[in-house]
């Protein structure tokens, strides 16, 4: 597919996501230009790090309103998925301690820190199982118990937009979709066949 744009949000996983798309025969353009992003057929928002600096970068690039007003399908990956929600408790060094940060607001809900517990290490890092909640074209070919690779300390809530969960101390949203807005908390670019399938599904789906 042509016309795939990766938003240059500064995440360390941008290069690996781009290579994963190339393995699928897609040469995605990396861009921080609003007009280029608006023209794309598919838009992907990768992200690694904390919510506050990521939102600060999107504001510096004047992309917040552009992303909010997109009419094309949008996929958030890892932190990029968390930014789709209304708010994150992950303030980071760019925000007042404990204040959290307002995000893109494309999906309702607040991203919160995974709770620590006996035998539960934070950050959640490594392979874990997916549990689909309902049939969805984004999950085509993904079965309950399939494994994906996660690296995160904060997670999105299980809401009506959550189509697959994962558990690490508590259940959290692993894959979300509301219309043309989609997200994967795990790293598709590091999740072997499961990750490749999620990307393929996003690229091929009919979002009409």
Active site residues: 78, 187, 189
Question: Measuring CA to CA, which residue among 30, 1, 21, 79 is closest to residue 196?
Answer: 21
Exposed, middle or buried by CB within 10 Å (0-12, 13-18, 19+), for 170? middle
Residue 203 parent element (H or E):
helix 192-204
Closest CA to 6 of 25, 36, 23: 36
User: With the C-alpha atoms ordered 161, 163, 167, 173, is the resulting torsion angle positive or negative?
Assistant: negative
State whether the Cα torsion 57-123-166-205 is positive or negative.
positive
Helix (H) or strand (E) run with residue 74 in it: strand 74-77
């Amino acid at each position: 597919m042509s016309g795939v744009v990766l938003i240059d949000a500064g995440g360390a996983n941008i290069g690996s996501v781009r290579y994963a798309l190339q393995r699928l025969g897609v040469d995605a353009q990396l861009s921080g230009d609003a007009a280029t992003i608006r023209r794309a057929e598919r838009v992907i928002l990768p992200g690694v790090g904390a919510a506050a600096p990521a939102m600060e970068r999107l504001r510096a690039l004047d992309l917040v309103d552009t992303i909010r007003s997109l009419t094309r399908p949008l996929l958030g990956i890892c932190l990029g998925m968390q930014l789709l929600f209304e708010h994150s408790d992950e303030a980071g060094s760019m925000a007042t301690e404990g204040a959290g940060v307002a995000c893109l607001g494309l999906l309702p809900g607040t991203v919160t820190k995974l709770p620590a517990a006996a035998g539960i290490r934070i950050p959640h890092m490594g392979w874990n199982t997916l549990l689909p909640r309902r049939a969805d074209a984004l999950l085509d070919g993904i079965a309950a118990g399939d494994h994906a690779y996660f690296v995160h300390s904060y997670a999105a809530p299980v809401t009506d937009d959550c189509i697959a969960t994962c558990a690490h101390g508590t259940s959290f949203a692993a894959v979300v979709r509301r219309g043309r807005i989609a997200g994967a908390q795990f790293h598709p670019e590091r999740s072997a066949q499961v990750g490749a399938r999620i990307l393929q599904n996003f690229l091929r789906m009919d979002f009409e």
